[in-house]
Amino acid sequence: MRVGSSKSLPPSPTTYYLQSFMEQTPGTYDFSAFEQRWQAYWKKNSTFRTEPTSCGKPKYYVLDMFPYPSGAGLHIGHPEGYTASDILGRYKKAAGFNVLHPMGWDAFGLPAEQHAIATGEHPALQTRKNIDNFRRQLQMIGFGIDWDRELSTTDENYFRWTQWIFLKLFRHGLAYVSEKPVWFCPALGTVLANEEVLNTKEGPRSERGNHPVERRPIRQWVLRITAYADKLIEGLDALDWPDSTKRLQKNWIGKSEGAEVTFQLADIANESLAVFTTRPDTLFGATYMVVAPEHPLISKLTTPTQKAAVDTYIATVRNKSDLERTDLAAKKKTGVFTGSYAVNPVNGNKIPIWTADYVLMSYGTGAIMAVPAHDERDWEFAKEFKLPIIQVVGSKEPIDVQEKPWTEDGPMVNSGAFNGLSASETKKKITADLAAKGQGKLAVNFKLRDWLFSRQRYWGEPFPILWVSQSDYAKIPADSEIREFLPKQPVTCQINGQEVCAVPLTSKQLPLKLPEVKSYQPSPTGDSPLSKEPDWTEVWYNIADGETIAQSKPQPGPLWIKASRETNTMPQWAGSCWYYLRYLDTLNNKEIVGADVLKYWGNPDFYIGGAEHAVLHLLYARFWHRFLFDIKVLPTPEPFQKLFHQGLILGEDGEKMSKSRGNVVNPDVIVKEHGADALRMYLMFLGPLEASKPWNTDGIAGITRFLRRLWRLAVDETTGKVSSKVNDTAAEPEELVRELHKTIQKVTKDIETLQFNTAISQMMILMNAAEKSATIKRATVEDFARLAAPFAPHVCEEIWQRLGHKESISTAGWPKLDESKLVETTVDVVFQVNGKVRSTTKVDKAISKDALLALAKADPAVQKFIDGKPIVKEIIVPGKLVNIVVAG
RNA sequence: GCCCAAGUGGUGGAAUGGUAUACACAUCAGACUUAAAAUCUGCCGCCGCGAGGCUUACCGGUUCGAGUCCGGUCUUGGGCACCA
């Protein structure tokens, strides 16, 4: 660190003093010099390059959620998780594992595209700059990453496999096109997945940017994730994940079991109305039915006298903004009678059919049987429209269902032959009875919706799909190479009034690259910027081998048909769905991942990232992984066996860090002022890894002091040689030896369980003990350095070298615990009277219970409280305490 | 409304049912220094001169003994939200 180095100005008195005091000696703790030196050393020697699968060592794959390389650079939250995984990785390496700790970039995405729209600069350029900056920042913090395996989702050799997986999904009927209304964000100019839309007080908003979103019918690619709903729930059980995340996914998938019941219509023959219910037991209490305003039968159900009212209602609902429709404050139920009646299959009662927007077309059958006595929503509606409320489930205490719905279980009442039975028995019996009559069956429903997979953007993976006419589709030869990915059922949709069919490229034609475009601006109608590039979109397509050539050229031959490319691109989640696989084999041009490396490395042993991805990335990635397992590409059904979420680092004010609050902590500044080691260790010392905790720049002083004390323990600050305190022949106090082994034990265990804050505390305790001792053995200092190295690798490398070692400390192994050194001959025992501590005494560990009790009774501080009182009970816990219980 | 997590000194936090407040930060006092920085030492939950009493959001329970287990309340944070 140079101060006052300006040549043009004479040194001021202040800089003169600073210069004299900051003068470099060979022993100066000059973190910025040695941090840079060791980072260069690791790079030059590929210290953290993963060893080949043939190395004979057990593998350990530690994975960070890779970052989106934003223009803002690294956030302080990034190095929190990355330091945790780095400590684990460095520890495992020391413990003899072949460690894979890779890093990459989730680099497709909207911010780069918005920057492109604003500046005209190609998003790839901006992305490259951002990646370079992120890499620089990560290297500045000294992460032990195998940079040879760096990847970006925007690399052609990466996204060709993203496209390949999509084509596999397409081939297996799991990708289709839908024109149902979807969330569209005018500000972002694109549609969003359900998972990307937040319900806020102001109404539905985009997760990114908090812009208002609205429902629009736009043609979309959709992935049939619902086909995996059951597997995605079941798979959770065996995973070592935070319970909260498992629960979140479970709730998001939202499995509910019940029955589908078919109601005959009283006045319309050949039509029936199916409903989904989780409470078939309450069927006798169904007093009306409700169909969603969008229900396909609505016009048939509506009688002429009700037509005007129903039409008006449907129009009102349609014109209702999503804001109004989801406004929970104005929860008052609305609806209109259709004029039709249904017949209750259990008792033949005629019940009216209403339409109301509290019934959603997107769930179940879009119609319900309403049991107001036992459902809050139905109860509110019945009260609003004065419909009958009939109790069919009883309770222990008398209740009045006219006052309030009863949603608990109880014996059946008013239910004919079922009276007196429990609700659960009745459920089974009624469903079985209905099934026998062909009027019902067991049914399962999920809240999970299919995954909206296309975006009207430029900066994403293009779909390797083209649209052709139905008649051309029929010409595809039986032995065509495009059958590699052709689905059994054609995927069709309407484009410009034409019925068209989707055809795939083949593996040979991947990757399908993005064309250069004149403008990145999406159209307000929801068309991608790619749609404005006819040279790219309009092609001749060879139905024998999938080759394409621009339509501006003459038709090359009879097998070539007119085709237009899909112009949507994939969402950002696509690339992050499988990147953990590609790290195993980044350079493989033939396969997504080679079988041999896959066999050795398998899945990540440890995966760390923010809890904000609990339902998005982590659900999508599980879906893809499970699919690839089902089609035998992968040997395991689940990608991430052990998952951990680091907590948020809050600003110094305890609020979430944000530019607008002005409480953002910049890692560059911290590293410059305090060093990478101090940043890493302090992030880990702040508190439990999983907890959200405020940053406090003042606190870093404690870590800096610790690191400098560690330095001074080993190195003489003036000479730079090994400290004269380090002495191989002098004896060490027993307490220091014991503390060292206690520290080996605790740091090892705490790293394994990710309790880095307490590991650091223990090292500080060891430091306090080491400084009290007049001399310290070289072996002790070496063990100390090896324990601290995963946390503060730079200073420990420097110490290791000054102690005379030639190799990196990362190759020096892990200190061995000698349990015999932990044994203590004397222990502190507590004497209590009536559970209150009255005295503590040092005793021999082997002391008998009787002797210990006698000691307690003889203690004057104890006697004072038991004197003259009858002893009721004596509890003796050897090595811990004596508790004497007295009466009075 | 439903589901979940968390409430411990001035601050971040520690504690297999067994000495609550480890380890740090900050403040204060002292040593070194012409001085400052750095470094080192000490004090540091509340009340009390003391003996001692009280204290882990609040109320109750189990236990010889509860921050820890059980029941209830409050507060904060997160998720879901007309999912039949």
Q: What is the mean pLDDT of chain A?
A: 90
Q: What percent of chain A has pLDDT above 90?
A: 69
Which pLDDT score is estimated for A724?
A: 87
Helix ranges restricted to H, A540-641 = 573-576, 579-582, 595-601, 617-630
Do residues A116 and A127 lie in contact, with contact meaning Cβ atoms separated by under 8 Å? no
Q: How many residues does the structure list for chain A?
A: 888
Q: Is the CB of A765 under 7 A from strand B?
A: yes
For the residues A871-876, what does the mean pLDDT come to?
Answer: 90
ipTM over 0.90: yes
Q: Which CATH number fits domain A824-886: 3.10.450.50, 3.10.20.590, 3.20.20.70, 3.90.1150.10?
A: 3.10.20.590
Q: Is the CB of A278 under 7 A from strand B?
A: yes
**Amino acid letter for position A423:** A
pLDDT bracket for residue A14 (50, 70, 90):
very low
Distance (Å, whole) CA A123 – CA A105: 14
Return contacts of A694-697, CB within 8 angstroms, 24+ apart: A694/A649, A694/A650, A694/A651, A694/A652, A694/A653, A694/A654, A695/A76, A695/A649, A695/A650, A695/A651, A695/A652, A695/A657, A695/A665, A696/A652, A697/A652, A697/A665, A697/A670
DSSP string, A828-883: EEEEEETTEEEEEEEEETT--HHHHHHHHHH-HHHHHHHTTS-EEEEEEETTTEEE
* DSSP 3-state of A323: helix
Report CA(A352)–C1'(B41) in Å, whole number.
87
So what CATH class is A58-174+225-240+569-646?
A: alpha beta
Q: Is the CB of A330 under 7 A from strand B?
A: no
pLDDT bracket for residue A27 (50, 70, 90):
confident
Taking only the tens place, the pLDDT of each residue in A727-744 is 888 788 888 999 999 999
Which A residues 536-575 have CB within 7 Å of strand B?
none
Helix ranges restricted to H, A727-777 = 734-752, 756-772
What would you measure as the largest C-alpha separation in chain A, in angstroms?
114
Non-local CB neighbours of A580 within 8 Å, separated by 6+ positions: A63, A603, A604, A607, A621, A639, A640
DSSP string, A700-739: HHHHHHHHHHHHHHHB-TTT-SB-TTB-SSSPPPHHHHHH
CA–C1' nearest nucleotide, residue A254: B83
Distance (Å, whole) CA A684 – CA A669: 18
Do residues A714 and A725 lie in contact, with contact meaning Cβ atoms separated by under 8 Å? no
Q: What percent of chain A has pLDDT above 70?
A: 95
Which pLDDT score is estimated for A604?
A: 97
Do residues A373 and A286 lie in contact, with contact meaning Cβ atoms separated by under 8 Å? no
Non-local CB neighbours of A206 within 8 Å, separated by 6+ positions: A185, A187, A188, A192, A196, A197, A198, A212, A213
Distance (Å, whole) CA A371 – CA A392: 9
Q: Is residue A410 pLDDT above 70, yes or no?
A: yes
Q: Is residue A758 pLDDT above 80, yes or no?
A: yes
Distance (Å, whole) CA A326 – CA A348: 36
pLDDT bracket for residue A323 (50, 70, 90):
low
Q: Is residue A888 pLDDT above 70, yes or no?
A: no
Distance (Å, whole) CA A464 – CA A475: 20
Report CA(A21)–C1'(B36) in Å, whole number.
12
Distance (Å, whole) CA A637 – CA A613: 20
Q: Which CATH number fits domain A667-821: 1.10.730.10, 2.40.30.10, 3.50.50.60, 1.10.1200.10?
A: 1.10.730.10
For the residues A38-52, what does the mean pLDDT come to?
Answer: 96
List, in sequence order, every residue forming a beta bridge with A214; answer none if it has no partner: A184
Which A residues 587-626 have CB within 7 Å of strand B?
611, 615
Do residues A105 and A151 lie in contact, with contact meaning Cβ atoms separated by under 8 Å? yes
Residue identified by tokens 């309030």 is: A404
* Predicted TM-score of the model (pTM): 0.92
So what CATH class is A255-446?
A: alpha beta
Which pLDDT score is estimated for A559?
A: 93
A511 prior amide bond cis, ω within 30 = yes
State phi, psi for A772 to the nearest 5 degrees.
Answer: -70, -25
Do residues A645 and A610 lie in contact, with contact meaning Cβ atoms separated by under 8 Å? yes
Q: Which nucleotides of B are covered by protein (CB under 7 A)?
A: 3-5, 11-16, 18-20, 22-26, 35-41, 52-54, 64-66, 77-84
Residue nearest to nucleotide B83 (CA to C1'): A447
Which pLDDT score is estimated for A312?
A: 93
List the end-to-end C-alpha distance of chain A, in Å, as a whole number: 70
DSSP state of A52: P
Q: Is the CB of A229 under 7 A from strand B?
A: no
For the residues A130-143, what does the mean pLDDT come to?
Answer: 97
For the residues A110-115, what does the mean pLDDT come to?
Answer: 87
Closest to A283 in 3D by CA, of A395, A429, A420? A429
Residue identified by tokens 């629009």 is: A216
Q: Is the CB of A142 under 7 A from strand B?
A: no
**Amino acid letter for position A768:** N
State phi, psi for A389 to the nearest 5 degrees.
Answer: -120, 115
Q: Is the CB of A760 under 7 A from strand B?
A: yes
Report CA(A266)–C1'(B41) in Å, whole number.
94
Higher pLDDT, A696 or A11: A696
For the residues A220-228, what does the mean pLDDT come to?
Answer: 95
For the residues A813-819, what does the mean pLDDT come to?
Answer: 95
A829 sits in the region (left: phi over 0; alpha: psi -120 to 50; else beta) called: beta
pLDDT bracket for residue A325 (50, 70, 90):
low
CA–C1' nearest nucleotide, residue A875: B64
CA–C1' nearest nucleotide, residue A696: B12
Distance (Å, whole) CA A106 – CA A150: 11
Which pLDDT score is estimated for A327?
A: 55
For the residues A465-483, what does the mean pLDDT come to?
Answer: 95
What is the token pair recorded at A517? Answer: 């475009």
Report CA(A445)–C1'(B3) in Å, whole number.
19
Which A residues 59-98 have CB within 7 Å of strand B?
none
Closest to A300 in 3D by CA, of A310, A312, A286, A289? A310
Taking only the tens place, the pLDDT of each residue in A163-215 is 999 999 999 999 999 987 788 888 888 788 777 787 776 777 887 778 888 87
Report CA(A745)–C1'(B13) in Å, whole number.
21
pLDDT bracket for residue A717 (50, 70, 90):
confident
Q: Is residue A23 pLDDT above 90, yes or no?
A: no
pLDDT bracket for residue A321 (50, 70, 90):
low
Which pLDDT score is estimated for A330?
A: 55
Non-local CB neighbours of A443 within 8 Å, separated by 6+ positions: A257, A258, A259, A260, A276
Give A3: exposed, middle or buried? Use CB within 10 Å, 0-12, 13-18, 19+: middle
State phi, psi for A615 to the nearest 5 degrees.
Answer: -105, -15
For the residues A804-822, what does the mean pLDDT come to?
Answer: 95
What is the token pair recorded at A383? Answer: 């009260």
Distance (Å, whole) CA A223 – CA A25: 64
Do residues A418 and A430 lie in contact, with contact meaning Cβ atoms separated by under 8 Å? yes
Q: How many CB atoms lie within 10 A of CB A439?
A: 18
Distance (Å, whole) CA A636 – CA A634: 6
Taking only the tens place, the pLDDT of each residue in A415-435 is 989 999 988 889 999 999 999
Q: Is the CB of A210 under 7 A from strand B?
A: no
Which pLDDT score is estimated for A823?
A: 86
Q: Is the CB of A21 under 7 A from strand B?
A: yes
Do residues A338 and A353 lie in contact, with contact meaning Cβ atoms separated by under 8 Å? yes
Give A239: exposed, middle or buried? Use CB within 10 Å, 0-12, 13-18, 19+: middle
Which pLDDT score is estimated for A660?
A: 79
Q: How far is CA A339 from the centre of its chain?
A: 49
Distance (Å, whole) CA A316 – CA A310: 10
Report CA(A768)–C1'(B25) in Å, whole number.
17
Taking only the tens place, the pLDDT of each residue in A57-84 is 999 999 999 999 999 899 998 999 999 9
For the residues A831-857, what does the mean pLDDT come to?
Answer: 89
Q: Is the CB of A841 under 7 A from strand B?
A: no
CA–C1' nearest nucleotide, residue A278: B84
Which pLDDT score is estimated for A320?
A: 67
Q: Is residue A1 pLDDT above 50, yes or no?
A: no
Taking only the tens place, the pLDDT of each residue in A241-297 is 999 999 999 999 999 999 999 999 988 888 899 999 999 999 999 999 999 999 999
What is the token pair recorded at A7? Answer: 């040549």
Domain spans in chain A, listed from the N-terminal domain onward: 58-174+225-240+569-646, 180-218, 255-446, 667-821, 824-886
Report CA(A683)–C1'(B23) in Å, whole number.
15
Which pLDDT score is estimated for A5?
A: 34
Q: Treating both helix axes as pointing N-terminal to C-terminal, what angle do A110-119 and A123-140 enclose, rounded to 10 degrees?
A: 130
- A255-265/A606-608 β-pairing: unpaired
Which pLDDT score is estimated for A523?
A: 76
Which pLDDT score is estimated for A322?
A: 52
Q: What's the CA angle centered on A350, arms A427 and A398, to 5 degrees?
A: 50
Return contacts of A625-629, CB within 8 angstroms, 24+ apart: A625/A577, A625/A578, A626/A228, A626/A231, A626/A232, A626/A235, A627/A168, A627/A169, A627/A172, A627/A174, A627/A228, A628/A165, A628/A168, A628/A578
Report CA(A278)–C1'(B32) in Å, whole number.
79
Report CA(A655)–C1'(B76) in Å, whole number.
13
DSSP string, A502-547: EEE--GGG---PPPP-S--PPPTTS--GGGG-HHHHEEEEETTT--
Higher pLDDT, A88 or A523: A88
